[in-house]
Structure 1
């Protein structure tokens, strides 16, 4: 499919050497040549005697010479036939080995090189570039959100997208460039550019991004929008020892740059910078520590108060995760939650935290609720409701006092699975809250179709609520919408008295934020509840611990 990307490399020539020797089999060829020489010498003598005998001027040829001639003819036919058959056999074997080599070194779906063959090919390109006084530019390309595309449309559509993506990339590359599929949805391109050829590589990158951005037409009139993230580097970016980088180093650097492009919005490109490598090493160490931290119980639940803003009464807590790492100190959830989702350990982390929070909440007053945030990835698991109900059963915590919070992004996943999960939990008494309302794209139809119990206004609106303008009007509209749908409102991010007074003017709302105090661990939370109970009921015993 891509002949320029499949050009043989030097080491492959050794494979053909035994076949070349077999093709030039001097034994079979020598037999045929010797038989031919003998035929010429013997045949001339015998045939002349036969001719003269026919003319009546000589005796018949000697019987031994005649038999020798016949044997010589048979030997000549045998030798020549054997040599011809050997050539055909060698040709067939060469074709079979060439076919096997292509299968071993190319991707069967796209026809590009595969990861196995691309490294030696880039190494040879580096030598060629050095002779030309040029550089090798490497582009690593990853299809954005490919797993979601596969899950939504199926692997057949996913394969069609990969094939079309490979074709579009190939059309944008020069004839002597290398194109390889590194695995999954990742491609690598290598091309020779002039010294300090970043501008040339940038032009190629822009062409590729533009070509891929066009919608992909699939079967059944399905149109799929595809974007990619790209990392770039060149062999002109020397290593710390001042030596030119190897093919593996180029791939590693481009991979780091590609991840940087994904992290900063996708659908774009980024050049490798040395600082990225340090960041990548730190991230790798953090990922290792995170995985071990889950096993060692380094993640603990903290609790933020939820208050009835009209009465000031404590009505419940929201559980927030904190990571106390002996290596990195206190790590914020804005860092480790996305990392846990990317690593695929968010479900295990969340379930451990919820189990601990349920145990902590058993010692609270019976009127207090516990709410927890649920990752969108957890709602892709059809067994999530079963797992959550099992945790409630094992802890003995009443489902009616338990609430899960999901973000609007969850509504754009598999709606059938999400609806089944939420309905199952709702039927068991668990409350469902739509978190960060106003920042996503949920529709009124979704609000009515799914069994929500309340809406949470995003803190970005509440923070600026005291200032006259759009946010105040928007918060008022959200409260009116919730009232019209019969959904109570929770406002998060209350940090000033002005914001609190503005919310009080909107009616019955539950609120939370630093104005009521910072989130605390289980011990501090229990101590707060005991002190509050002592103030409110100095002569009575109340269940708080």
Structure 2
């Protein structure tokens, strides 16, 4: 909806139209013709009309034909001049309306009636001038609707437009009359207001927070439109100016305030959404680190700095290794070995998660190809990858290139994937299983998957989240949940893997609920491909090898 080039063109056209309007209003030709016709009519009309009247009433024949013709021409000129004047007046009026419309389009958002990005800075600069004169401060709010895109895609753009218009109306209703409100595009709004001296202090920012709290509360109220109820929330970032000195550059201050409010808004989203957050100087450092991280990920992906590590999966009854789960690591020259909790969310946000994941899976398939054929390889898939309709074909291509048997690959899908688009997920899972690939439901118990989804989707295994397993023996709730999941797995004939086995107490408690695959630090830390290969070679678990004579077997290593 925002088109800066178009609005700039409209504004330029409106500015260029102004001299033309003045020229039209002062059309010398039209005014000259009308004035001359009126003067001529006044000068000759009385005598000519008198003679014509006397000739008509008394039959006198001394009428001057030339003067009569001049009078007729005079009347025609007056009519012509008047019509010309009326046409010009109408044209000027229409062009003034067009100019006002162009000015409005250049300065406001057509959908919500708020200011647009182009006119935001000048409007806040006026507030800065007001605050400077009174000794007050300026407060800037950056408001972003949470998960609006998902709602927009689900209900359609018409409903989305209604939500944006209602949101703008609700925000405007909570702001004082002098406040500025602008829509920057999409679902992002910026508000600003000038506060009197003493209203906003470092010790008590409650005046502003009361306004923000009301805005958050009113935005979160359900919106009923097109027989649909929409519920959205907002993340709000706040920044404030200190008392503004006379020599301060108003434009630079406005840019700084908007930038800081934007940083604070992203911090509010990071903290869980549906809240507000004040700008703090540390956010600038975090932004710089984030920028460096993005650049490092792009460069590291091109240089192959992302490598797979492997965590053992074992049979908890025998202690035998049954396979490995691939875990992503970044061997960064600058930051060292970086865990996935740092770079995976960033890679998802900048659109590189698919390339990163495929690069890691390709390397893992080549590594696992040399393991014993009985060992499996498990890989985690981002919810964003499940939106790709060609994902199954991409996995099949990687399997063919690595010459890796599909039945040895286990793809782990988190419960959150089930809520993106259940139809697409079902089609994807079916396509993968038709190729012989196994599918596990990861982090079971932490999401919102229903029993009907678990029954209708063709999963091969469920994995109990480590948050339940690691607290066994200390939490009665964890034991209850694991017992329920174990019963569910037996009833649906689904084998179970338990993550987070970190000590023998947890292992012994877990064995009370049945037979599982298990993984966790008790069996060893995640290791690089070379270390895994060395250990498997010692145990005779590489393709075409046998265990050494003095090897007591993997069960002795784990249970002994």
Q: Are the structure 2 counterparts of residues 527 and 242 from structure 1 closer, same or farther at C-alpha, using a change threshold of 3 Å?
A: farther
1:24-79 CA-to-partner distances (Å, cap 9, x unmatched) read 43553344234323432343454566667789899946555555444444333333
Choose which of 534, 538, 543 in structure 1 pairs with 2:548.
Answer: 538
- 2:465 corresponds in structure 1 to 458
Match runs of 1:443-454 below 5 Å: 443-454=450-461
Partner of 2:555: none
CA distance in 2, matches of 1:376, 1:53: 102
Distance change >3 Å, CA 99–CA 468, structure 1 → 2: closer
Shift of 1:186: 1.3
Matching residue within 401, 425, 432 for 1:425: 432
Which whole-Å CA distance do the structure 1 matches of 2:67 and 2:273 have between them?
Answer: 88
For the residues of structure 1 that align with 2:457 and 2:495, how far apart are their CA atoms?
A: 15
After superposition, the CA RMSD in angstroms is: 3.2
Contact 1:50/1:60, CA 8 A, preserved across alignment: no
1:226 maps to which residue?
232
Residue 220 (structure 2) pairs with residue 189 (structure 1): no
Going from structure 1 to structure 2, the CA distance change for 1:508 and 1:54 (only over 3 Å counts) comes to closer
Q: Which residue of 2 aligns with 1:297?
A: 304
Uncovered stretches (5+) of structure 2, i.e. residues with no partner = 1-10, 551-560
Distance 1:42 1:134, change over 3 A: farther
Offset, 1:14: 8.0
| Equivalent in the alignment of 2:114 | 112
Give the conservation status (yes or no) of the 8 Å contact 1:215–1:226: yes
- Aligned counterpart, 2:27: 25
Aligned to 1:155: 157
Correspondence for 2:558: none
Deviations 1:385-435 (A, max 9, x none): 222122112211111111011111122221111111112212222111121
SS in 2 for 1:533: coil
SS at match of 1:481: helix
CA contact (8 A) 1:322 1:332 kept: yes
Contact in 2 for aligned 1:373/1:404 (Cα 8 Å): yes
| More deviation, 57-66/444-453 | 57-66
Q: Which residue of 2 aligns with 1:86?
A: 88
CA contact (8 A) 2:14 2:102 kept: no
- Aligned counterpart for 1:336 among listed residues 343, 346, 352: 343
- The alignment covers a number of residue pairs equal to 532
Q: Using structure 1 for the length normalisation, give the TM-score.
A: 0.88
Which residue of structure 2 lines up, in the alignment, with residue 145 of structure 1?
147
Structure 1: how far apart are the matches of 2:185 and 2:69? Answer: 68
Structure 2 Cα separation of the partners of residues 27 and 246 of structure 1: 52
Secondary structure in 2 matching 1:410? helix
Maintained 8 Å contact 1:137/1:235: yes
Contact residue 131 and residue 244 of structure 2 kept, 8 A: no
Q: Distance in 1 between matches of 2:509 and 2:304?
A: 41
Cα 1:432–1:251 shift into 2, 3 Å: same
Look up the match of 1:207: 214
8 Å CA contact retained: 1:306, 1:510: yes
1:411/1:51 CA distance change after superposition, 3 Å: closer
Q: State whether residues 537 and 547 of structure 2, in contact with CA within 8 Å, keep that contact through their aligned partners in structure 1.
A: no
CA distance in 2, matches of 1:55, 1:489: 121
